[in-house]
Every structure is written in C-alpha cells, then in structure tokens.
Homo-oligomer: A and B are copies of this chain.
Amino acid sequence: ILLAPPSAAQTDPLPSWNDGANKQAIIAFVEAVTEEGGPDYVAPGDRIATFDNDGTLWPEHPIYTQLAFAIDRLKAMAPEHPEWQNTEPFKFAIENDMEALAKGGEKGFMEIIAATHAGMSTADFEKIVTDWYKTARHPRFDRAYTDLAYQPMLDLMDYLRANEFKTFIVSGGGIEFMRPMTEAVYGIPTEQVVGSSIKTKFEMVDGKPMLMRLPEVAFVDNEGGKPVGINAHIGKLPIAAFGNTDGDIQMLEWTAAGDGKRLMMLVFHDDADREYAYGPANGEPETHFGAFTQALMDQATRSGWNVISMKNDWATIFPPMK
C-alpha cells in the first residue's frame, strides 16, 4: 500500500510542528530524497531513519521510564530481599531517594537493572513489562507513559513512513523493555528496535524451549555503541538520525558520514511549562537524566545539525487525552 501523501500545499504533513527552519528542513529533506530523477534521490530500501527513544520520542524526566519501572519492580520484590533495606543503591530506590540514587550514577542504575531485569525467561519479562505499562502513571502528567510519546515526533515518523522510510529506534534503553510498546505507541515493529541488552541463553525447561535472561550485559547501545548497534541490526547507514544527548553524537556522526543528503536533528528540552527544561547547554539547568552539554550544542552548530526547540518548534507536546 503506497501512502503517498498529498502535497504540503494541500495538507500539512507535520501539523503539530510550528512553522520555522526545523519544520522546513524536514520537509525539504524528505522532498529531496524522494524526488525521482532528482540529484538527492534515495531508493526506498535505503531510506533508513533512526530515533533515540528517551528524551527524543518520550520524556525522561523526572527519571528515565525504565528506571521508574525498575524501582517499582524492586519494591514489589523487596519483601523477598530484606537485605536491600541496608544496601545501596537498593535502599535509596525503596526509600524513593532519587537524589541519592542519581548520585550513584550509571553503576547504581546497572545494579538495579540486573536485580530486576534478569533471572526470568524472555516471555515472563515481556509479561511483567506489558503489565507495568498498563498500570504505571507518569508522576507529573498522571497519564500512562505510553500516552506520552511526543506528538510532533509521531507526526514526523508517520510522515517519513508515508514516504517509504523505514523507521528504527536506536536507544540506550533496554531492547526488551521497549519492544512491548513500540508497535502500539510509535508504529515501530519489534524487529526495528535496537537497544541495550543482557545475555540470554536457550534452555529446555520441562520440555519447553525458553530464553533465560542472565545478569550479564551483552551490549550497551549508547555513544560509540549506537553505530555498532545500527550496523549489527540494520547493516546500512541511516540517512536521517534523531537524538537528544551526548550519547547520540556518534549516531549522528555515523549518519552524516554517508554520501548524499542527510538530516541530523537533536531535541532540546527548553520548555519547563509544558514538559521540562534541562541542559546544561544554553544555561538550562544541569540534570542527571539526559544531559545536553554546551559542547554538544557547539558541535551541532559546527556540523549543521538541526536543534529542535521544544518550546518554539512544537505546537503541541503530547497526544490529546483519549
């Protein structure tokens, strides 16, 4: 089914974006690479677009969604682990002391992930995650996390797919944490999700084959890991890439390295009223979750990467309430 959109003059392909340089850059890019016979034409099979997830497609404040899930899991499992009451970082999580938890950095998060994400089959983990998505609510917006995808990015992905792009998620988040929701929330099937992972092992349990999740990191899909993950899962260079932090630099550099027209964009959170504002770039507050450094802002300017101002470029942030 060929979903060629009506021309922009008739219908706005990005209705949740305000007019401006960034919206124009997207439309000009898509029109250039889809113009048959044009100098920038790209065949449909090579129209690969990659999207970071946390902070690019949905919020990552006050904490990463996956960390919220892990803390809920930890609390549910705590009665069977009395030792956690006196062990860092578990005690911080159980006591809701996010400041202390955040100070422990990635190492603390990884310990919590290992305690909550391993030791079950992939099928059981999928059920745990699916059930959590059904009940968990974002603490500020009081909506399901899965209702908080950024509407402008949903419009953008629809627009790209209508122009025969294949859209992939390439996230530092856990691949098995994302997959239960990506099809319903973003229209991205499981086979187009790239993420961090722990090792799994094939085992026969009571005559039934299972993949057991082991407490051992297999792959970290962040920074230089993003090009590695793109190569491993996709096997071609993206022609468009979207991120929001220093962890996306290598993905954007890798995308930019190809011949022909390219689009690299970064979401900048400068909208405390409607979502969050954090940097530290451009004098926005420091953050433990999803830092956009001034060095990244400078690199974006030097490299011709588009920086999306959430405040100015996005007419709406979240989908309408159902």
Chain A interfacial positions (CB closer than 8 Å to B): 1-2, 45, 48, 122, 166, 175-176, 179, 183, 189-193, 197, 200-202, 204, 208-209, 211, 223-225, 227-228, 231-236, 250, 253-254, 257
A250-B209 in contact (CB<8A) = yes
CA distance A227 to B211 in the complex (A): 8
Q: Which residues of B contact A175 (CB under 8 A)?
A: 232, 235
Which residue of chain B has its CB nearest to the CB of A255?
Answer: B209
A191-B166 in contact (CB<8A) = yes
CA distance A193 to B176 in the complex (A): 20
CA distance A179 to B257 in the complex (A): 20
Quick one: given A166-B191, A191-B166, A250-B202, are A211 and B228 in contact (CB under 8 Å)? yes
B190-A234 in contact (CB<8A) = yes
Q: Which of B191, B202, B232, B250 contacts A224 (CB 8 A)?
A: B202
Q: Given A179-B235, A190-B235, A200-B228, output 13 extra A-B contacts at Cβ < 8 Å.
A: A1-B1, A166-B191, A176-B235, A190-B234, A197-B232, A200-B232, A201-B224, A201-B228, A202-B227, A204-B253, A209-B250, A209-B257, A211-B228
Minimal beta-carbon separation of A160 from chain B (angstroms): 16
Q: How many copies make up the complex? A: 2
Minimal beta-carbon separation of A241 from chain B (angstroms): 12
Quick one: given A2-B1, A209-B250, A257-B209, are A233 and B201 in contact (CB under 8 Å)? no
B227-A191 in contact (CB<8A) = no
Q: Which 9 residue pairs across A and B have the least CB separation, nearest first? A: A190-B235, A202-B224, A191-B234, A202-B227, A209-B253, A209-B257, A179-B235, A209-B254, A200-B228
A236-B191 in contact (CB<8A) = yes
B166-A236 in contact (CB<8A) = no
Q: Which of B225, B228, B236, B253 contacts A190 (CB 8 A)?
A: B236
Q: Which residues of B contact A190 (CB under 8 A)?
A: 234-236
CA distance A48 to B209 in the complex (A): 18
